[in-house]
Structure 1
Amino acid sequence: MTTPSSWKPRLVALDVDGTMLDPATQSISAGVRRAVSDVVEAGVHVVVSTGRSMLGTLPVLDELGISDGDALCSNGAVRVEVSSREAVSVETFDPQPVYERLSPLLPGALYAAEQVGTASLVTELFDPEELHGPQRRCSVERLLEHPVPRLIVNWAGHSPERLRASMDGVVLPGCCYTVDHYQPWVTVVPDGVSKASALEKLRVELGVAAEDTLAVGDGDNDIQMLEWAHHGVAMGQGPSVVRSAADEVAGTVSEDGLVPVLRRWFPPRD
């Protein structure tokens, strides 16, 4: 979508990993932090919109200096009020039918069920850099006992390409899912839930016009968000399916590609 030169967004939705945070260094650069801070200081609604859990998102908000507004976690299934650091909206699904569908397709996979704001129940321990916050190892039966907002399926030891082939055409009852291009992960959330659906609810509540929205992301779970936004920007290292869903392709995360995107509308403040 072509935007006029005078246009400036009033709501900016930003993915975390691969957009603000470089997975290679597991850090957010000083340039990105300054650029995001200047957007916040301009009075614009900056909404961190991520597949991370609430536990994985709070440290990012702290690092960025975002102290109010809302953040969308778990691909939109969990909405966090930043000032209180509390989940104010949680959408869940029954993980039992999902496990029954996936376990024969992905033998040996590891499962993680989010317990909002406290921990993740896991069938086997994940790498701490992959799954943020405390992990509580438990039986499959225990993990499937209660509804959850997000279920992670890690087919460790297999390539993302093989995982995508195994998931081709798979329908999960009462859920929707994304398959990662970078690691052999499936992220499952309630049916109809996405970053885009959560952002649309928030946009309406905030009274922001649909044409005043900007979104930046790099992964499969960002596609609907990029299509939702008036102006969607894909990071340069994102897969072709993500880049093709965007209005613009920025530089890569390692090049701080987000910075010139934000600086176009929000120059450095004195």
Structure 2
Amino acid sequence: MSVPAPGWVPKLVALDIDGTLLRWVEGSGQTHAEVSDAVADAVRRARAAGAHVVLASGRSPHGMTPVADMLGLDDPEDPVWVVASNGGVVFRYPPMDIVHEHTFDARPAVIAVLEEHPDALVGVEERGRGYRVNRPFPAGELSGDMIETPVEDIVAEPVSRVIIRDPQATAEDFVDLAGRLGLHGTDYVVGWTAWMDLSPVGVSKASGLQQVCDDLGVSAADALAIGDGRNDLEMFAWAGRSVAMGQAIEEVRAAADDVTAPVDEDGAALELGRYF
């Protein structure tokens, strides 16, 4: 595991959301997401010190703005940069101002997956409302409304990201499936469960962050990236320093320059505290 060069301070901080900034806690019989005071304070310190803080997630744009609000990154005089949909959409907030968006024809890949997982759930963001889905996803997995729509209509037009979910399968099932199908014309990432995000070829958190850097005049070598999932691997390879959360799977931990404490122990705050 590498240690930053003496005096190195990141000019850009790329932060995953779920499992990095957000932790899931039980309360009143329900599970809800929260950002600890320590993490929120560390993020605000980094920004106050002049670092460009960028939220980078597989979440859709409307699923990320509430997190920016929770972190106090909601100043219209200084809108925060956000990389959403695993790099498919780059915007500033508030208000939401789409700066870059990549779309693709998802039909062939979706059809190929459904041939092997005919009962899988399919979802595409309906910006500002929620998601168009072929059937409802498990409660709490998608933000906003779920608008039931036939699959052929969901992928009739180019999209920035497609979610495929099979509650009856495992993450390993989807990793094997993607490897066998090849999913030509798309890139993919498999989450903690049997959840697959399909995106345009070459589009990832790393490509979205590079677009932000290009706009800001910042080098990837000056970036710190913190995350915990398979969709952070490209971001880790891109950044000057990459740090995995302590609860991440071994594949993700091994890809990072360093490993911090788990999200329940404010690992992101500990890493940011090294510089800010």
Smaller-chain TM-score range? over 0.9
4+ residue segments displaced more than 3 Å? none
Moved more, 84-93 or 246-255: 84-93
**Mapped partners of 2:267, 2:144: distance in 1:** 28
Moved more, 71-80 or 124-133: 124-133
Question: Aligned runs of 1:170-249 on 2, under 5 Å?
Answer: 170-180=181-191, 182-249=192-259
**Mapped partners of 1:245, 1:127: distance in 2:** 31
Question: Which residues of structure 1 form unaligned runs of 5+?
Answer: none
Instruction: Give the drift of 1:52.
Output: 0.2
Question: Aligned runs of 1:103-114 on 2, under 5 Å?
Answer: 103-114=114-125
Number of equivalences: 265
SS at match of 1:168: helix
Mapped pair 1:8 → 2:9: yes
Moved more, 42-51 or 1-10: 1-10
Moved more, 241-250 or 161-170: 161-170
Q: Is the 8 A contact 1:234 1:243 kept in 2?
A: yes
1:100 equivalent among 111, 123, 128? 111
Instruction: Give the drift of 1:113.
Output: 1.1
SS at match of 1:23: strand
**Mapped partners of 1:80, 1:119: distance in 2:** 17
Instruction: Give the drift of 1:183.
Output: 1.4
**Aligned-pair RMSD on alpha carbons?**
1.4
Identity value in percent: 38
Question: Aligned runs of 1:126-205 on 2, under 5 Å?
Answer: 126-180=137-191, 182-205=192-215
TM-score when scaled to structure 1?
0.94
Question: Which residues of structure 2 form unaligned runs of 5+?
Answer: 26-31
**Mapped partners of 1:48, 1:26: distance in 2:** 16
**Mapped partners of 2:15, 2:130: distance in 1:** 24
Mapped pair 1:90 → 2:97: no
Mapped pair 1:56 → 2:80: no
Instruction: Give the drift of 1:128.
Output: 4.3
Q: Alpha-carbon deviations, 1:184-211, whole Å to 9, x = none?
A: 1000111110000111121122111332
TM-score when scaled to structure 2?
0.92
**Mapped partners of 1:204, 1:174: distance in 2:** 26
